[in-house]
Amino acid sequence: QVRLVESGGDLVQAGGSLRLSCAASLSTLMINAIGWYRQAPGKQRELVAEIKSGVGTNYADFVKGRFTISRDNARDTVYLQMNNMKPEDTAVYYCSANTDWGRYWGQGTQVTVSS
């Protein structure tokens, strides 16, 4: 069982910034891919950004140039730096890890961007 705990969600004004954190219960070096997804009310969950071991990073088009995903292997933590935020970024953000044992999800953290 892999436990993922997200934090950092908050209310922010349009144009502002937030940094989300995802602490994993196992070494991030043992995770094949780890990333952030989001789900807005009435919409499907969608990929925001991910890090694939041995491959690199992947971003959804709607966050390119605004969001940055990074990983601190010493802390087994993944971050999502979100800049120039827009009201349409409002959603619950989930951390997800893909391992040899399956895919795991965190409980989610609410991000709200006011106009």
36-54 per-position pLDDT tens digit: 999 999 999 999 999 999 8
98, β-bridge pairs: 33, 103
Tell me the H-state helices in the chain: none
CB-based contact 80:20 (threshold 8 Å): yes
Q: What is the rounded average pLDDT of the residues 81-107?
A: 96
Q: Helix or strand or coil: residue 101?
A: coil
pLDDT at 29: 80
The neighbour count for residue 74, using CB atoms within 10 Å, is 8
